[in-house]
Amino acid sequence: MPTHTIIHFKQDCISCGACAAITPEFWVMDEQGLAHLKEAQPVNNHWERSIQTEEERARNQEAADCCPVNIIQVRKVEK
Check residue 55 and give its pLDDT: 95
- Residue 64's pLDDT band, with cuts at 50, 70 and 90, is very high
Class for domain 4-76, per CATH? alpha beta
3-state secondary structure of 40: coil
Q: Could you tell me the sign of the dihedral formed by the alpha carbons of 16, 21, 27, 33, in that order?
A: positive
As a whole number, mean pLDDT of residues 58-62 equals 97
DSSP 8-state symbol, 52: -
Indicate the pLDDT class of residue 78, thresholds 50, 70 and 90.
confident
Contact 9/36 with Cβ under 8 angstroms? no
Segments making up each domain of the chain, as ranges: 4-76
Tell me how far apart the alpha carbons of residues 18 and 62 are, in angstroms, rounded to a whole number. 10
State the average pLDDT over residues 47-54.
96
Question: What are 1-46's pLDDT values in tens digits?
Answer: 779 999 999 999 999 999 999 999 999 999 999 999 999 999 999 9
